[in-house]
């Protein structure tokens, strides 16, 4: 399959828009796979998806994503942004209906539908388990399996426009099979999840924001996602990793067990060099200046953290 890409030496339209943003440094390095183009902006990895003409997700797309997730374990990467390389084609528009139809119409192949999506869930779980933040810049449609992929990200930034997000699977005779029923329930509660999944809803970015399925709603999702990723990349990696682990593991445990998970994470960070550096930096400040130190805008002035 031939995939549309910028000419050598040029950036995509989305990348150009990011570079023109406030103080954003130029991208460096990266990989160009069939469906994904990656680049680095300091400690932030950007993965741009492209599968023209409709940006459908296929098994090949997920196979390449699995490779990228392994690479994101690199400790020099402290945050990841996932976005569309060309928002005119959609984000992760939906899983290829043609591929699903071929699977469902073959009595032999359809028996392997379970193991197939179980494998996808494993990859999505690996994303959630990474000790760093993954942000989905939702600059296009994200439905079905595509929306499930964004649910595996830690933060979702919606973009205003003629886009739709959702899980319409029941309308296609199937159900969300890559973790969607469970992740949506954990995000918005069972009552809203029942309405969401059983009706096969797709909604505008504005409605998704009202429901709590996206964290922010902006004009330029990739630019905002990059801004957030650069902010988080300035924070102590040990505290970010342990906070993320405590939140996810605690959400699946009873309250007392969750408290123990939090306590273990707290103990680990208190023994870290990152905590020592951060606390010494705060302690050196005049008490009247300490609130300003915690402001998001001041993150770029934080000390360098080793990540251990």
Whichever domain contains 138, its CATH number is: 3.90.226.10
Residue 3 within a domain: no
Task: Return left, alpha or beta for 37; rule: phi > 0 is left, psi -120 to 50 is alpha, else beta.
Answer: beta
What per-residue confidence (pLDDT) applies to 275? 95
> Are 110 and 176 found together in one domain?
yes
pTM of the model: 0.86
> Are 175 and 288 found together in one domain?
no
Per DSSP, what are the bridge partners of residue 134? 80
The one-character DSSP state at 124 is: H
Beta strands at 133-138 and 216-218: parallel, antiparallel or unpaired: unpaired
Does residue 160 have a pLDDT over 60? yes
The gap between the terminal CA atoms of the chain, to the nearest Å, is 43
292 CA to centre of own chain: 29
> Are 163 and 251 found together in one domain?
no
The one-character DSSP state at 253 is: S
Burial 218-249 (b: 16+ CB within 10 A, else e): bebbbbbbbbbbbbbbbbbbbbbbbbbbbeeb
Residue 8 within a domain: no
Whether the upstream peptide bond of residue 283 has omega within 30° of 0, thus cis, is: no
Residue 118 within a domain: yes
| Number of domains within the chain | 2
3-state secondary structure of 58: coil
| Rounded-to-integer distance, Cα 13 and Cα 240, Å | 31
> Are 157 and 274 found together in one domain?
no
Say if CB 40 and CB 28 are below 8 A apart.
Answer: yes
Residue 258 within a domain: yes
Residue 151 within a domain: yes
pLDDT digits (tens, 9 = 90+) for 80-101: 999 988 655 566 776 766 676 6
Tally of CA atoms within 13 A in the half-sphere of 104 that contains its CB: 10
> Are 187 and 276 found together in one domain?
no
Per DSSP, what are the bridge partners of residue 165? 142, 203
Closest alpha carbon to 24 in 12, 33, 15: 15
77: containing domain: 13-233
> Are 107 and 150 found together in one domain?
yes
Q: Give the residue-averaged pLDDT of 240-262.
A: 96
> Are 82 and 126 found together in one domain?
yes
Does residue 48 have a pLDDT over 80? yes
Q: Give the residue-averaged pLDDT of 118-131.
A: 92
Q: 102 falls in which pLDDT band (50, 70, 90)?
A: low
Residue 6 within a domain: no
Closest alpha carbon to 306 in 285, 281, 282, 276: 276
Please say which residue of 233, 252, 273 terminates a domain: 233
pLDDT digits (tens, 9 = 90+) for 51-81: 888 888 888 899 999 999 999 999 999 999 9
> Are 103 and 242 found together in one domain?
no
Per DSSP, what are the bridge partners of residue 218? 159
Closest alpha carbon to 47 in 65, 63, 61, 62: 65
Name every residue whose Cβ is closer than 8 Å to that of residue 189 and which is 6 or more positions away in sequence: none
Q: 107 falls in which pLDDT band (50, 70, 90)?
A: confident
Task: State the CB neighbour count (10 A cutoff) for residue 100.
Answer: 21
Task: Return left, alpha or beta for 160; rule: phi > 0 is left, psi -120 to 50 is alpha, else beta.
Answer: beta
Could you give the strand order of the β-sheet that contains 36-41, starting from the edge strand earlier in sequence?
A: 36-41, 44-49, 79-84, 133-138, 155-159, 216-218
**% of the chain beyond a pLDDT of 70:** 85
Per DSSP, what are the bridge partners of residue 156? 136
Name every residue whose Cβ is closer than 8 Å to that of residue 121 and which is 6 or more positions away in sequence: 178, 179
> Are 270 and 126 found together in one domain?
no
Please say which residue of 233, 261, 283 terminates a domain: 233
What per-residue confidence (pLDDT) applies to 13? 38
Residue 195 within a domain: yes
Please say which residue of 185, 212, 233 terminates a domain: 233
Does residue 49 have a pLDDT over 50? yes
What per-residue confidence (pLDDT) applies to 10? 35
Residue 142 within a domain: yes
- Both tokens assigned to 53: 């003409």
> Are 162 and 210 found together in one domain?
yes
> Are 187 and 269 found together in one domain?
no
What per-residue confidence (pLDDT) applies to 163? 94
> Are 189 and 223 found together in one domain?
yes
């Amino acid at each position: 399959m031939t995939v549309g890409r910028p000419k050598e030496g040029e950036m995509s339209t989305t990348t150009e828009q990011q570079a023109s943003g406030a103080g954003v440094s130029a991208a460096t390095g990266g990989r160009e796979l069939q469906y994904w183009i990656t680049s680095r902006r300091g400690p932030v990895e950007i993965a741009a998806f492209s599968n023209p003409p409709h940006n459908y997700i296929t098994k090949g797309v997920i196979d390449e994503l699995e490779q990228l997730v392994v690479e994101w374990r690199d400790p020099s990467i402290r945050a990841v942004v996932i976005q569309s390389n060309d928002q005119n084609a959609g984000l992760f528009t939906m899983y290829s209906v043609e591929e699903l139809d071929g699977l469902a119409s073959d009595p032999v192949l359809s028996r392997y539908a379970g193991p197939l999506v179980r494998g996808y869930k494993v990859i999505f779980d690996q994303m959630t388990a990474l000790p760093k933040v993954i942000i989905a810049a939702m600059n296009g449609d994200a439905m079905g399996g595509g929306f499930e992929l964004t649910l595996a990200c830690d933060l979702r930034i919606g973009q205003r426009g003629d886009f739709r997000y959702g899980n319409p699977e029941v309308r296609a005779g199937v159900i969300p099979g890559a973790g969607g029923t469970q992740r949506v329930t954990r995000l918005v509660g069972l009552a809203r999840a029942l309405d969401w999944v059983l009706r096969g809803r797709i909604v505008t970015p504005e409605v998704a924001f009202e429901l709590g399925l996206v964290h922010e709603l902006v004009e330029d999702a990739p630019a905002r996602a990059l801004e957030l990723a650069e902010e988080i990349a300035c924070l102590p990696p040990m505290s970010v990793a342990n906070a993320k682990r405590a939140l996810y593991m605690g959400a699946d445990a009873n309250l007392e067990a969750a408290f123990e998970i939090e306590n273990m994470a707290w103990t680990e960070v208190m023994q870290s060099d990152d905590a020592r550096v951060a606390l010494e930096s705060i302690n050196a400040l005049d008490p009247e200046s300490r609130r300003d130190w915690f402001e998001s805008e001041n993150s770029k002035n934080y000390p360098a953290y080793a990540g251990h």
